[in-house]
Amino acid sequence: MALAVGVGALRAAFQMLLDAVIAVKAETTMFKPLLGNIKSTLDALQPMIEDIEKYNPKEGLENYAMQMEEGVNLVRKCSKVGVWSCCRKYRYTKKLDELDRCLQRLVDVLKVQGIRDVRETLVSLRNIETVLHRIEGNLVTQNQSEKINGWSAVPEPPPVTVGLDVPVKELKVKLLKDHVSMLVLTAAGGCGKTTLAKKFCQDQEVKDKFKDNIFFVTLSKKPNLDLIVHELYQRKGSQVPAFQNEVIAVNWLQQFLKETGQSPLLLVLDDVWSGSESLLEKFDQFKMSNYKVLVTSRFAFPRFGSPYHLESLNDADAMALFRHSASLDDKTSYAREDLSRKIVELCKGFPLAITEVGRSLRGQPIEIWRKKVMEWSKGSSILASNSDLLACLQSSLDALDKEKPILKECFLDFCSFPKDQRISAATLIDMWAELYGLDEPSLSIANLYELTTQSLANLVDIRNEREADGYYTEHFVTQHDMLRELAIHQASQEPIGQRKRLTIDIRGDNLPNWLTEAKHQLMQARLLSISTDGAFSKKWPNMQLPKLEVLVLNFETNSYTLPEFVKKMDNLKVLIVTNYGFLPSELNNFQLLGSSSNLKRIRLERISIPSISKNLKQLKSLQKISLFMCSIGQAFGKGSIQILDALPNLAEMHIDYCHDLVELPAELCDLIRLKKLSITNCHNLSALPEKIGKLVSLEVLRLRSCTNLLELPDSIRNLEKLKFLDISYCLSIKEFPEHIGEMCSLKKLNMRQCSRLQDLPASVLDLERLKNVICDEETEILWEPFLPLLKNIHIKVVKEDINLNWLHEHPSCMDSS
């Protein structure tokens, strides 16, 4: 009786949903493609609903009936969404997609149950195999007529593909190696991973090798091993019983792979999401020479080996794809061709963006093209005008929101920096230490690696070293412009006054309207980013940001003035100032920071330090200062206040790529609470002050890649708390101080590529706590006479790349695309 009630409710809900979809699809144009997809799924489901008793459904029909009833309300709401309501448009697009997937799951459940029950009723028939094949043939025919493709059938790639010939060749080289059983093909959503996988399966060499033993399975977010195994066997024309648990399903999978793997077997697992590692392990645990698995995913799954990263399209391929999507022919006018090039440039080789934008402009008058190009060139989002593209990219963020919300926040912070520019990992470390409590730099780097494995960013170490010693100056983050637009779009969904992060990007003197409106002056943001170009000259309006913790200022001018409202930021903890111009910039109004009683971290890039040191005020809470590519000159010696009085609690100082630094200012040695001093890539630095021994609290001294540094002062012996000394790539140092053994706390020494170092003083035998020494093959020899007496020391020899071009590499001049 209960089953009858459930069937009746399901049929009624189904009919209501079908009627609603037909009616609304006829009324609205906004959701027509999605409603068309749902209509196709309902058409496939209709004969099953009408004949549902014969499927003997064992899953609760009430749940599906309720979901259909909710779907009726959803579809009706879609008819009321206005054209300009981007937020509601995106939200309903996502919900309609979920509704379609729910209906497709019901199709799969009923289809599998129907196959299983028909087989059970035919067990007693003499010609069972012939009958089964006939039934499955009818099912395939029925599926084809209903436009439902079996999971394991190999789908055809689109009729026109571009830029995939080289990736197909590279995939063959990587996957068809004897020792490789699984390869992950990864990229952000919308980059063409599935299309590449389809084209790979249709490659003649691949078809010759695997013949009919190619299976293509789409998994998506919630893969069902039971259904996957049934579909694989169904493709073979074999029968399997119902699985009582996952262990039995795995056993049947193993049997399938053993039987099918007698000949070369290729299995494509498409659209695999984070959290599916255990499922992938079930497919990867069976090591057979003829068995290959190709996984497409937005996630790199590093535990399964080095992935293949699908790159963006080059200019020629991007233009070819756009011309096809927009239906342009050889007779297209010059004006439209010129606009096409501008649009392709804005899409930055992102296939889905190129395709969707091309389709949206197909058949439109040239005035619409000009309007769109003008809007996008001025900063309007391509995502905001294309719901399918937005939904594709947004789904990656939705997954983060549920599983790792801090990662999502970190991703959204990337929009605080100008597009087409690398983001320094050291900058993010400072920001995230205060915003999210990631006090250890390695925690922030770990988050960047996770975002990289999920194709939401790309972490680059320009030195390509794996020695984890807390040195992240040469780590940078790059990101595709479409992902940056996604971060900006996501951050803009809240009212301006309620946003956690504010990003203000100003071209010329064109301030956003809301910035000058009094009602928006009181804001709740914790992070504020302001980017201006070389034409900006206006005075900043007053802003009230009582909760602001991180201020990021990006500019391109030779002189920059801190906004007056900085002195009212009582809660400010991190200041990031980056000049993207070529020469160091004068920074004015620096004295305003004297009122920032909670300021802990300052990072300055391409700033003239003398311009701020002469007006230095007391910053009692400041714990860390970083100077990157700054002009040091005669800084810190002629200020109105002694440096120890100005920075009484400074614990970290980083000086990187400051090429005019010839001698470290002796005044810095007065910072007696300094625990970490890092001076790297200052190639003209030739001497350290003898007073450096006054830094009695110092625990880390890094002098990496100071290629002209001649010697270490004798007073270094007084650094009794020093635990780590890094003099790697100091090519000019010829000897250690005689009494270096008095550094009684030294635990780690990095002396790679100290090529002029001739010998070690006998006092190294007094370094009783020294555990780790990092050398190259030449400097290792210097330790050999002492090793019999240094029982607890570990010498790590690192083979070097003889290419030293990195010594003169300008990190800001590298391509950031």
Give CA–CA dist 608/559, Å, rounded.
10
Taking the alpha carbons of 619, 621, 623, 625 in that order, is the dihedral positive or negative? negative
Residue 741 has what pLDDT? Answer: 92
Residue 177 has what pLDDT? Answer: 83
- Phi and psi dihedrals of 423, rounded to 5? -105, 125
Q: How many CA atoms lie within 13 A of 321 on its CB side?
A: 28
- Phi and psi dihedrals of 749, rounded to 5? -135, 125
Own/partner pairs, 141-145, CB within 8 angstroms, 24+ separation? none
What are the Cα distances from residue 655, in Å, to 119, 465, 705? 74, 20, 12
pLDDT band at 633 (very low <50, low <70, confident <90, very high): confident
165-175 and 193-202 helices, crossing angle to 10°:
70
What are the Cα distances from residue 676, in Å, to 213, 285, 304, 663, 739? 60, 47, 38, 18, 22
pLDDT band at 321 (very low <50, low <70, confident <90, very high): very high
Q: What is the mean pLDDT of residues 80-100?
A: 72
Give me the amino acid identity at 451. Answer: L
- Phi and psi dihedrals of 285, rounded to 5? -75, -15
pLDDT > 60? residue 141: no
pLDDT > 60? residue 147: no
Residue 518 has what pLDDT? Answer: 52
User: 41, 40, 44, 47: which is closest to 11 by C-alpha?
Assistant: 47
Give CA–CA dist 183/308, Å, rounded.
7
**CB neighbourhood size of 783 (10 A):** 16
Helix, strand, coil % in the chain, rounded to nearest 5: 45, 15, 40
Residue 96 has what pLDDT? Answer: 83
Q: Would you kindly state where each structural domain of the chain is located, as residue ranges? A: 2-118, 164-309, 312-403, 661-816
The CATH code of domain 312-403 reads 1.10.8
Mean pLDDT of the chain: 83
Burial of 287 (0-12, 13-18, 19+ CB in 10 A): exposed
Residue 743 has what pLDDT? Answer: 93
The better pLDDT of the pair 654, 180 is held by: 654
Residue 423 has what pLDDT? Answer: 94
- The three-class DSSP label of residue 628 is strand
Residue 317 has what pLDDT? Answer: 93
pLDDT > 60? residue 795: yes
pLDDT > 80? residue 805: no
Residue 812 has what pLDDT? Answer: 43
The pLDDT tens digits for 361-393 are 888 898 999 999 998 888 788 887 788 888 888
pLDDT > 50? residue 507: yes
The pLDDT tens digits for 332-371 are 777 888 999 999 999 989 999 999 999 888 888 989 999 9
The better pLDDT of the pair 71, 221 is held by: 71
| DSSP strands (E only) in 569-699 | 574-579, 586-588, 601-605, 624-628, 652-656, 676-680
pLDDT band at 648 (very low <50, low <70, confident <90, very high): very high
Q: Considering the chain, what percentage of its residues have pLDDT values greater than 90?
A: 38
32-50 and 2-27 helices, crossing angle to 10°:
150
pLDDT > 80? residue 293: yes
Q: Considering the chain, what percentage of its residues have pLDDT values greater than 70?
A: 87
Give CA–CA dist 251/256, Å, rounded.
9
pLDDT > 60? residue 119: no
pLDDT > 60? residue 556: yes
Residue 637 has what pLDDT? Answer: 63
Number of helices (H) and strands (E), helices first, in the chain? Answer: 23, 23
Q: What is the mean pLDDT of residues 226-237?
A: 79
Residue 83 has what pLDDT? Answer: 56
Of 3.80.10.10, 2.60.120.10, 2.40.110.10, 3.30.360.10, the CATH number of 661-816 is: 3.80.10.10
412: which 2 tokens? 């959204």
pLDDT > 90? residue 716: yes
Q: What is the mean pLDDT of residues 592-604?
A: 91
The pLDDT tens digits for 452-491 are 998 999 998 877 665 667 889 889 999 888 888 888 888 8
User: Highest mean pLDDT: which of 240-249, 281-290, 414-423, 605-614?
Assistant: 414-423
pLDDT > 80? residue 447: yes
pTM of the model as a whole = 0.75
How far out from the chain centre does Cα 320 lie?
Answer: 27
Fold adopted by 164-309: Rossmann fold (3.40.50)
Same fold, 312-403 and 661-816: no
The pLDDT tens digits for 742-768 are 999 999 999 999 989 988 999 999 999
Residue 389 has what pLDDT? Answer: 86
- The three-class DSSP label of residue 613 is helix
pLDDT > 90? residue 53: no
Give CA–CA dist 569/506, Å, rounded.
21
